[in-house]
C-alpha cells in the first residue's frame, strides 16, 4: 500500500495507514443524516414498549447434528477472524469440543444475548478498481469475523427464515433460495420485449443507493423485525447482535484502534443479507400494473410500460412515493449516479423522469446486474464488453494456457472451462439469442483460445480443433445452459417469476426473444 493522503498529512507507516482508513470507515458506518421526526418517534415508542415487556418465549435449541451440518459446509480456504480459529481447525475438532460449542450456542439462544467477543471484526482494505490508491476512501473493507460466530449466525438464520420467508416481497431476488441475478434480468428484459411486440415503450430508472448495507438504521431494522411478527425472543437476540459492534483495520501486521459501528448490517456475516432484505421489505408497491419494481439486494430498477405520454408520469408518481419512503427510513440515493433508459424503437422520447425534483436524463444504455442493456436490447455493447473481459482474463492466464505452457492439454482445457468460459456465458439465457453477427464475436474468441491451447498451426480448421478436444460451439453451449435455466423456472413458486410472459418462441414476432434458444437447430 502506498503512502496515504489524509486531510492533515501524508502517512507512511502501516499503523498510521490503518488508523487513516479506520477514520474513513468509522464515518461510513453511521446512519444517514436524514431526519424524519414522525418515523423516528414511532420507532422510538415501539422499541421502548417492546423492550419494557418481559419475554418468556424460548428459541428452539440447537442439536449437535445441526451444528455438524453447518461445520461440514465450511470452506477450508477462508481467512480466520480476530480469534485466529480457521475453518479447518473447527472441522477437526474432537467430539467433546463440538458438544461444548453446541452448549455455548444454546446458551446464546436461551439468554438471547450475543457475546461481545464475537462482535469484533478485523477489516482488511482492498483497493477498488480504477481508484486513487493514495486516498483512504478508495479501499473496499473486507470484514473478517470469527468462524465460530458465523456458525452461530447460521443457526440463528435458520430460525429467522422459518418465520419470514413467506412474508418477503416476491420481486426481491437478492440473497434468497432459488433466485438469482439472471432470473431478475430475464424478468426485466422479457417485460420490455413483450411491450415492444405489442407496440408499447418501456421507461426504466436504475437507482444507486449510497452505502446501502453500511448505513442501515439499526433501530429502524429492529422496528421492522417486530412489525413482521418475528418472535420476540429472536428480536431481543438480534438487538444484542446488532448493537455495540466494533472493528479494527489491519494493514500488514498492524491493527488500528478499535472503532464503534453505529449503523449497518454486519458485513461478511451470514445473517446480514437477510436483515437487509427485511429492512427494505416494506418498500412501496407500484400502484398500477404498468409499473414494476425489480430488486436484487440494493440494485433497484423501476420500469413502466405503456404509451409514451404516460410513461414519465407513471415513473414520477412512483419515484415520488419511493423518495418519501427512503427519507423516512434514512436511505440515501446518489441522484448523480442514477440512470434511466427508454427502451423503444422510436426516435422520439418523452420528458425525463425526476427524483427529488431532479431530472434523470435518458441514456442509450446502462449496466444492471452485470449486463449492459441498450435501448433496443440488441446486447451488442454487452457482447463487445464481454469480449474485452475475455481478453483480459486470457492475458492473465497466458503463462498457464499459452502455446509455450508446459501444462497438459486436459489441464489447459479445465482452466478455460472454469475461468474463461463462465465470463463469456454469464446471463447467456437472457442475451444468447442476440444476432448471429454478435454471437460470432464470442465464437471467434473461443476459436482463438482453442488454437492457443492446442498450439495448432494455421492450416488446421477451427471445427476440427474443437471436435478433437470435444469443445462445444458457443451457440450450442448457450442452448444447453438455456434449456436447464428455463426448465428450472418453469414451475418456480415465486409469483414474480410466474408472471414473466410465456410465449411460443417459434412465432415470427418472437424473434430474438430469450426462449428462441430452446428451438432445435
Q: Of 80, 66, 87, 152, whose CA–CA distance to 115 is shortest?
A: 152
Is the pLDDT at 172 greater than 90? The verdict is: yes
Q: Assess if residue 284 is contained within a domain.
A: no
Indicate whether 451 and 325 sit together in one domain.
Answer: no
Angle at Cα 298 formed by Cα 500 and Cα 179, nearest 5°?
40
Residue found by looking up cell 501524508 in the block:
10
- Which residue intervals of 256-307 are DSSP H helices? 272-279
Residues 136 and 233 in one domain: yes
125 close to 142: Cβ distance less than 8 angstroms: yes
Residues 288-342 have pLDDT tens digits of: 888 999 999 999 999 999 988 899 999 999 999 999 999 999 999 998 899 999 9
Residues 402 and 511 in one domain: yes
CA–CA dist 150, 178 (Å, integer): 22
- The phi and psi torsions of 204 (rounded to 5 degrees) equal -135, 140
What is the spatial distance between Cα 397 and Cα 78, in angstroms, rounded to a whole number? Answer: 23
Band of residue 162 on the pLDDT scale cut at 50, 70, 90: confident
Residue 139 φ/ψ, nearest 5 degrees: -110, 135
Last residue of a domain, one of 312, 346, 372: 372
Distance CA 237, CA 255 (A): 29
* pLDDT bucket at 423, cuts 50 / 70 / 90: very high
On whether both 138 and 254 belong to a single domain, the answer is yes
Same-domain check for residues 318 and 228: no
Boundary-marking domain end, from 224, 251, 279? 279
Residue at 455 is within a domain: yes
Cα–Cα distance for residue pair 405/401, rounded to 1 Å = 6
* End-to-end CA separation in angstroms for the chain: 54
- Segment (H or E) for 476: helix 474-490
Instruction: Kindly state whether residues 415 and 435 are assigned to the same domain.
Output: yes
Q: How far is it, in rounded angstroms, from Cα 304 to Cα 321?
A: 15
pLDDT of amino acid 356: 92
Residue range 87-114: average pLDDT?
95
**CB-based contacts of 231: which residues, under 8 Å, 6+ apart?**
57, 59, 163
- 176 within a domain of the structure (yes/no): no
Looking at 372, 389, 409, the residue that finishes a domain is: 372
- pLDDT band with cut points at 50, 70 and 90 for residue 520: confident
Look at residue 521 and tell me whether its pLDDT is greater than 80. no
User: DSSP alpha helices (H): ranges in 60-175?
Assistant: 64-72, 87-91, 95-111, 147-164
pLDDT level of residue 55 (50, 70, 90 thresholds): confident
Asked if residue 509 is part of any domain, the answer here is yes
Alpha-carbon span 328 to 438, nearest angstrom: 46
Phi-psi region of 295 (alpha: psi -120 to 50; beta: other; left: phi over 0): beta
**Cell numbers of 490, please?**
418453469
Same domain (yes/no): 345, 447 = no
Q: Does residue 8 carry a pLDDT above 80?
A: no
- Give residue 495's pLDDT: 93
Q: What's the number of domains the chain is made of?
A: 3
Per-residue pLDDT at 373 exceeds 90: yes
Q: Clarify whether residues 358 and 501 are in a common domain.
A: no
**Which three-class secondary structure state does DSSP give residue 507?**
coil
Residue 401 maps to a domain? yes
| Position 321 in a domain | yes
Same-domain check for residues 145 and 51: yes
Answer whether 81's CB lies under 8 Å from 146's CB.
yes
Beta bridge partners of 339: 206
Residue of 290, 359, 348, 302 lying closest to 326 (CA atoms): 302
Mean pLDDT of 192-214: 92
**Lookup: cell for 502:** 410465456
Buried b (16+ CB within 10 A) or exposed e, 426-458: bbbbbbbbbeeebbebbbebbbebbbbbbebee
In terms of C-beta density within 10 A (0-12 exposed, 13-18 middle, 19 or more buried), how is residue 249 classed?
Answer: buried
Is the same domain home to 100 and 218? yes
Secondary structure E strands in 420-481: none
Instruction: List pLDDT tens digits, range 194-203.
Output: 999 888 999 9
Distances (CA, A) of 182 to 168, 304, 412: 19, 20, 28
Indicate if the pLDDT at residue 161 is higher than 90: no
From residue 36, alpha-carbon distances to 3, 41, 214 in Å are: 41, 9, 20
CA atoms within 13 A on the CB side of 104: 16
Q: How confident is the model at residue 348 (pLDDT cuts 50, 70, 90)?
A: confident
Q: Is the pLDDT of residue 164 over 90?
A: no
Beta strands in 116-266 (DSSP E): 120-127, 139-144, 201-207, 245-251, 254-255, 259-261
The pLDDT tens digits for 73-94 are 999 888 999 999 999 999 999 9
For 224-249, the pLDDT digits (tens) are 999 999 999 999 999 999 999 999 99
pLDDT reading at 464 higher than 90: yes
Which structural domain, as residue segments, surrounds residue 230?
4-170+212-279
Question: In angstroms, rounded to a whole number, what is the distance separating the alpha carbons of residues 126 and 128?
Answer: 6
Tell me how crowded residue 356 is: count the other CB atoms within 10 A of its CB: 12
How far apart CA 225 and CA 239 sit, in angstroms, is 10
Residue 175 resides in a domain = no
Do 138 and 198 lie in one domain? The reply is no
Same domain, 275 and 394: no
Residue 246 forms part of a structural domain? yes
**What is the 3 state secondary structure string of 124-143?**
EEEECCCCCCCCHHHEEEEE
Exposure letters 148-180 (e unless 16+ CB within 10 A, then b): bbbbbbbbbbebbeeebeeebeebbbbebeebb
Amino acid at each position: 500500500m502506498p503512502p496515504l493522503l489524509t486531510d492533515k498529512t501524508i502517512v507512511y507507516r502501516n499503523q498510521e495507514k490503518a488508523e487513516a482508513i479506520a477514520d474513513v470507515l468509522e464515518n461510513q458506518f453511521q446512519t444517514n443524516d436524514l431526519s424524519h421526526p414522525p418515523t423516528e418517534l414511532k420507532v422510538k415508542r415501539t422499541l421502548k414498549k417492546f423492550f419494557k415487556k418481559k419475554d418468556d418465549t424460548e428459541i428452539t435449541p440447537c442439536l449437535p447434528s445441526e451444528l455438524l451440518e453447518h461445520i461440514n459446509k465450511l470452506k477450508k480456504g477462508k481467512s480466520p477472524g480476530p480469534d485466529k480459529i480457521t475453518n479447518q481447525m473447527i472441522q477437526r475438532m474432537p467430539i467433546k469440543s463440538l458438544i461444548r460449542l453446541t452448549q455455548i450456542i444454546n446458551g446464546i439462544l436461551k439468554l438471547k444475548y450475543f457475546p461481545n467477543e464475537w462482535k469484533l471484526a478485523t477489516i482488511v482494505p482492498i483497493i477498488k478498481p480504477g481508484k486513487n490508491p493514495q486516498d483512504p476512501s478508495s479501499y473496499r473493507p473486507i470484514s473478517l469475523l470469527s468462524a465460530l460466530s458465523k456458525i452461530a449466525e447460521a443457526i440463528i438464520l435458520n430460525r429467522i427464515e422459518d418465520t419470514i420467508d413467506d412474508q418477503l416481497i416476491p420481486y426481491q431476488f437478492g440473497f434468497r433460495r432459488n433466485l438469482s441475478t439472471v432470473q431478475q434480468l430475464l424478468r426485466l428484459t422479457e417485460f420490455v420485449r413483450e411491450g415492444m411486440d405489442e407496440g408499447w415503450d418501456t421507461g426504466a430508472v436504475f437507482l444507486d443507493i449510497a452505502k446501502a448495507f453500511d448505513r442501515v438504521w439499526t433501530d429502524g431494522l429492529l422496528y421492522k423485525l417486530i412489525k413482521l411478527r418475528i418472535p420476540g425472543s429472536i428480536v431481543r437476540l438480534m438487538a444484542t447482535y446488532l448493537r455495540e459492534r466494533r472493528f479494527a483495520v489491519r494493514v500488514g501486521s498492524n491493527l488500528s484502534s478499535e472503532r464503534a459501528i453505529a449503523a449497518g448490517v454486519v458485513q461478511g456475516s451470514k445473517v446480514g443479507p437477510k436483515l437487509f432484505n427485511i429492512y427494505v421489505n416494506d418498500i412501496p408497491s407500484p400502484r398500477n400494473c404498468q409499473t414494476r419494481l425489480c430488486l436484487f439486494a440494493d440494485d433497484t430498477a423501476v420500469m413502466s410500460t405503456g404509451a409514451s405520454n404516460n410513461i414519465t408520469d407513471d415513473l414520477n408518481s412512483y419515484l415520488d412515493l419511493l423518495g418519501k419512503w427512503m427519507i423516512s427510513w434514512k436511505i440515501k440515493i446518489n441522484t448523480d449516479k442514477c440512470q434511466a433508459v427508454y427502451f423503444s424503437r422510436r426516435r422520439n422520447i418523452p420528458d425525463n423522469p425526476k427524483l427529488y425534483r431532479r431530472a434523470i436524463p435518458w441514456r442509450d444504455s446502462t449496466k444492471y446486474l452485470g449486463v449492459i442493456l441498450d435501448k433496443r436490447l440488441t446486447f451488442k455493447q454487452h457482447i463487445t464488453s464481454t469480449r474485452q473481459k475475455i481478453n483480459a482474463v486470457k492475458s492473465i492466464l497466458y503463462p498457464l494456457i499459452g502455446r509455450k505452457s508446459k501444462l497438459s492439454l486436459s489441464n489447459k482445457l479445465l482452466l478455460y472451462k472454469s475461468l474463461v468460459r463462465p465470463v463469456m456465458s454469464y446471463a447467456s439465457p437472457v442475451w444468447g439469442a442476440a444476432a448471429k453477427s454478435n454471437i460470432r464475436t464470442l465464437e471467434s474468441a473461443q476459436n482463438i483460445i482453442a488454437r492457443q491451447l492446442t498450439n495448432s498451426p494455421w492450416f488446421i480448421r477451427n471445427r476440427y480443433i474443437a471436435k478433437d478436444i470435444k469443445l462445444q460451439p458457443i451457440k450450442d453451449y448457450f442452448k444447453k445452459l438455456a434449456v436447464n435455466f428455463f426448465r428450472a423456472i418453469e414451475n418456480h413458486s415465486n409469483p414474480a417469476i410466474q408472471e414473466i410472459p410465456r410465449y411460443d418462441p417459434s412465432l415470427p414476432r418472437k424473434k430474438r426473444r430469450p426462449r428462441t434458444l430452446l428451438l432445435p437447430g
